[in-house]
Amino acid sequence: MRLAFQGEPGAYSEAAALQFRPDAHLVPCPAFEDVFEAVERGGATCGVLPIENSIGGSIHRNYDLLLAHDLRIVAETELPVVHSLVALPGTTLDEVRTIYSHPQALAQCDRFLRSRKGVEVVATYDTAGSARLIHDRGLSGTAAIASERAATVFGLEVLARGIQDFADNITRFLVVGRGGAAEEIQKGTTPNKTTLVFSLPNEPGALFKALSVFALRGIDLTKLESRPIPGRPWEYLFYADLNVGQQEYRCGRALTHLAEFATSLRSLGSYVGFVRSTLGDAVPTAGDRA
Amino acid sequence: MRLAFQGEPGAYSEAAALQFRPDAHLVPCPAFEDVFEAVERGGATCGVLPIENSIGGSIHRNYDLLLAHDLRIVAETELPVVHSLVALPGTTLDEVRTIYSHPQALAQCDRFLRSRKGVEVVATYDTAGSARLIHDRGLSGTAAIASERAATVFGLEVLARGIQDFADNITRFLVVGRGGAAEEIQKGTTPNKTTLVFSLPNEPGALFKALSVFALRGIDLTKLESRPIPGRPWEYLFYADLNVGQQEYRCGRALTHLAEFATSLRSLGSYVGFVRSTLGDAVPTAGDRA
């Protein structure tokens, strides 16, 4: 199986892809959009995309791209995130004048960064890419926030380990594929989670009414994300994760009901995921998982 | 009145502050957090903070900071965003090899950036700051995406105007202040909008139940934003904008009702804002506005 991910070798997305399928052939892509395109054009079976971090929140770009592309969510996986400060071998912590990393990683290490007075913090496109930059350009006095594996890949040294503000830092990834991939990956499993995207008419109580089609059928929502509709200021698309597989009767009925008044409605996929109580604790359904 | 904003002179936040109070004395701050601190410590009467862009979506950092600080939302204002590509005088578009800007501005000019093949795109902390960097370091072959005013402020030339993907690109700003500032700014006006933040128990249908306290009283929601609770993976805080002033009877009743089962509930302020139908079109209440 060929799995596309965004970033350099050593990226957290690469680790998530290997966790999902340890024997996969990995296809690194420069941007999230390239992951979608690699899957659409057949260069990869599936793409592994971060969708939400337990500290930083949603990765909105990927929500927007799920809408713009015609792929299905076929699985989800979660990866604990441990950030390290990495630099050229021989560098000491006090010699570091500049720190590069992705804005989410920088935000997650806020306390550590505030303790490094006078250090310039530079936002980049990715964590492992920052490590690579330091290696490729031989940047002394410069460090990156990245995974320990990124340090190994690019011959850098770890100056500080586990520098994120919260120990309990987890990123949730979605695995996306074309229709055929869903069948292959989900063979022998029963999807227990469904992700929808919908828009609503400009009417009072519209969102309340939308949630009622699930609540009154006992279907739990584990996530509700709103995104702007470009070109229509202050109108929103809603992305909802449901704790139910689409093959279930009440899920089908709820979707039919929502379609009666939603201005748009699309299922992004039904898959084996982590079952949680509404807005609550994770109950991994280990038996069903790869 | 002293108004704090994040960024350099020429930043969109500066323009929003001047639109709110043309005669204000402006206090530029390096980061959003510094805006909150300037107001808390009395260095500024109010702070003007971007909270949402009609294309890029919410500025989540400011939602998080509203929770972390004890300030009130006292007003809101909206600013149309027109991005330009600016560089040292004499630079031609084809000479530009590197483009700096804030990630939101970069995302909003995606189509333009994709048309500039081979150009390196670098994410920075702000738009006007990128213009300043080019001026201060005399960076040739480099351009910034910023406002036309930023070009004027830093002696740069506009190479391309209105390069954002969508013409209808608006940023909504919140004005925050201490208790006393609210009284002064809101004198003679009647707040028609209220912003809340709340969390819910891990129970099926919890969000549906929360929205019911508004929907069943005919109170419209114009925005619902969820943010992670750090250290408690996959639990969320909800920020809700209501089309009702807190002094109204049904608003008070709805808050009392929500407090019966919410695990936390706080009003971030009640203010004169743009009234919209739920998830819908803006109806500026011009008569009430400064």
pLDDT at A206: 94
What CATH number labels B84-161?
3.40.190.10
DSSP per-residue string spanning A151-216: HHHTT-EEEEE--SS-S--EEEEEEEE-HHHHHHHTTT----EEEEEEE--S-TTHHHHHHHHHHT
Shortest CB distance from B228 goes to which of A55, A215, A280?
A55
Yes or no: say if B43 and B15 are a contact pair by the CB < 8 Å rule.
no
Residue-wise pLDDT for B271-288, tens only, equals 998 654 444 344 433 333
Compare A189 and A50 and report the one with higher pLDDT. Answer: A50
Indicate if the pLDDT at residue A98 is higher than 90: yes
pLDDT at A285: 39
Q: What percent of chain A has pLDDT over 70?
A: 94
pLDDT, average across residues B223-252: 93
Shortest CB distance from B278 goes to which of A204, A214, A278?
A204
User: Touching check for A281 and chain B: CB below 8 Å?
Assistant: yes
Indicate if the pLDDT at residue A38 is higher than 50: yes
The CB density around residue A67, as the number of other CB atoms within 10 Å, is: 16
DSSP state of B252: H
Instruction: From chain B, pick out residues whose CB is under 8 angstroms from the CB of A57.
Output: 60, 226-228
- CA A100 to chain CA centroid, nearest Å: 21
In the three-class reduction of DSSP (H, G, I as helix; E, B as strand; rest coil), residue A264 is classed as: strand
pLDDT at A55: 87
Is B207–A221 a contact, with Cβ atoms under 8 angstroms apart?
yes
Residue-wise pLDDT for B121-131, tens only, equals 888 878 999 99
Residues in B 39-98 with any Cβ partner in A closer than 8 A? 52-57, 60-61
Indicate if the pLDDT at residue A289 is higher than 50: no
Indicate if the pLDDT at residue B290 is higher than 60: no
Quickly tell me which residue has 């969109």 as its tokens.
B12
Per-residue confidence band for A37, with pLDDT thresholds at 50, 70 and 90:
very high
Indicate if the pLDDT at residue A216 is higher than 50: yes
Quickly tell me which residue has 């989900």 as its tokens.
A186
Indicate if the pLDDT at residue B227 is higher than 60: yes
- CA A276 to chain CA centroid, nearest Å: 17
Task: List where CATH 3.30.70.260 sits in chain B.
Answer: 193-283
Domain A2-80+169-185 CATH (choose: 3.40.190.10, 2.40.50.100, 3.30.70.1070, 3.40.50.2300) = 3.40.190.10
Instruction: From chain B, pick out residues whose CB is under 8 angstroms from the CB of A225.
Output: 226
Residues in A 145-184 with any Cβ partner in B closer than 8 A? 165-166, 168, 170, 172
A127: Cβ–Cβ under 8 A, 6 or more apart, which residues? A7, A11, A12, A83, A101, A102, A105, A144, A145, A146, A147, A150
DSSP state of A219: P
Residue-wise pLDDT for B9-29, tens only, equals 999 999 999 999 999 999 999
User: Touching check for A225 and chain B: CB below 8 Å?
Assistant: yes
Indicate if the pLDDT at residue A2 is higher than 80: yes
User: Touching check for A31 and chain B: CB below 8 Å?
Assistant: no
Cα A127 to Cα A88: distance, rounded to the nearest angstrom: 15
Cα A162 to Cα A166: distance, rounded to the nearest angstrom: 9
* Residue B234: closest CA among A279, A62, A240: A279
| A16 to A3, A63, A69, A166: CA distances (angstroms) | 10, 18, 22, 20
Cα–Cα–Cα angle for B89, B94, B99, rounded to 5 degrees: 75
Compare B290 and B264 and report the one with higher pLDDT. Answer: B264
Cα within 13 Å of Cα(B107), Cβ side? 19
Task: List where CATH 3.30.70.260 sits in chain A.
Answer: 193-288
DSSP per-residue string spanning B173-206: EEEEE-HHHHHHHTTT----EEEEEEE--S-TTH
Residue-wise pLDDT for A175-186, tens only, equals 999 988 888 888
Shortest CB distance from B123 goes to which of A103, A211, A281?
A103
A25: Cβ–Cβ under 8 A, 6 or more apart, which residues? A1, A2, A3
| Catalytically active residues of A, by annotation | 171, 173
User: Touching check for A231 and chain B: CB below 8 Å?
Assistant: yes
Is B215–A231 a contact, with Cβ atoms under 8 angstroms apart?
no
A120 burial level (CB within 10 Å; 0-12, 13-18, 19+): exposed
E strands, chain A, in order: 2-6, 25-29, 46-53, 57-58, 72-80, 84-87, 98-101, 120-123, 142-146, 157-161, 170-177, 193-199, 221-228, 236-242, 264-271, 275-276, 282-283
Is B225–A224 a contact, with Cβ atoms under 8 angstroms apart?
no
Amino acid identity of residue B228, one-letter, is P
**Searching chain B, which residue's CA lies closest to the CA of residue A205?**
B215
User: Touching check for A130 and chain B: CB below 8 Å?
Assistant: no
Cα B39 to Cα B281: distance, rounded to the nearest angstrom: 32
A32: Cβ–Cβ under 8 A, 6 or more apart, which residues? A6, A49, A61, A62, A65
Per-residue confidence band for A275, with pLDDT thresholds at 50, 70 and 90:
low
Is B165–A230 a contact, with Cβ atoms under 8 angstroms apart?
yes
Per-residue confidence band for A288, with pLDDT thresholds at 50, 70 and 90:
very low
Instruction: From chain A, pick out residues whose CB is under 8 angstroms from the CB of B221.
Output: 207-208
> Looking at domain B193-283, does it have CATH number 3.40.50.2300?
no
* Residue B10: closest CA among B75, B105, B74, B95: B105
Instruction: From chain B, pick out residues whose CB is under 8 angstroms from the CB of A212.
Output: 208
Residue-wise pLDDT for A41-97, tens only, equals 999 999 999 999 998 899 998 999 999 999 999 999 999 999 999 999 999 999 999
A56 phi, psi to nearest 5 deg? -80, -20
Is A57–B56 a contact, with Cβ atoms under 8 angstroms apart?
no
**Searching chain B, which residue's CA lies closest to the CA of residue A206?**
B278
Cα A195 to Cα A189: distance, rounded to the nearest angstrom: 17
pLDDT at B278: 43
Task: List where CATH 3.40.190.10 sits in chain B.
Answer: 2-80+169-185, 84-161
pLDDT at A103: 79
In the three-class reduction of DSSP (H, G, I as helix; E, B as strand; rest coil), residue A49 is classed as: strand
pLDDT at A280: 38
pLDDT, average across residues A101-129: 88
pLDDT, average across residues B139-154: 95
What CATH number labels A193-288?
3.30.70.260
Mutate to test the interface with A, among B278, B281, B283 (most CBs of A within 10 A): B278
pLDDT at A203: 86
Tokens of B57: 């979506």
Instruction: From chain B, pick out residues whose CB is under 8 angstroms from the CB of A170.
Output: 233
DSSP state of B219: P
Instruction: From chain A, pick out residues whose CB is under 8 angstroms from the CB of B228.
Output: 52-57
